[in-house]
Amino acid sequence: MTLDIQFKLKNNPYYVKYLRENSIWYKILNRDPNMFNLFESKAKEAYKLRTTDKISKALDTVELFQNILTTLK
């Protein structure tokens, strides 16, 4: 595994956690460092760190507050 990939992994705790849970990625990243983008997208998908997930979570929170306010009226 290249040093660049190792630094990227060590600097992000979500990547380390995902790598430990899905150890096949050690082998994949050792053989082909260009697969890091795929690894990154899979990790973000697993921990819901994508932009669409964040927007969805914010909308759910707003909807929850609206439901609470309508119940209080």
- DSSP label at 22? S
Q: CB under 8 Å, gap of 24 or more: what pairs does 28-31 form?
A: 29/1, 29/5, 30/1
Mean pLDDT for the stretch of residues 11-38: 96
Number of domain units in the chain? 1
What is the residue range of 10's domain?
A: 3-72
pLDDT score recorded for residue 54: 87
pLDDT score recorded for residue 21: 96
Query: How high does pLDDT run on average in the chain?
Result: 93
Q: Is 40 exposed, middle or buried (0-12, 13-18, 19+ CB in 10 A)?
A: middle
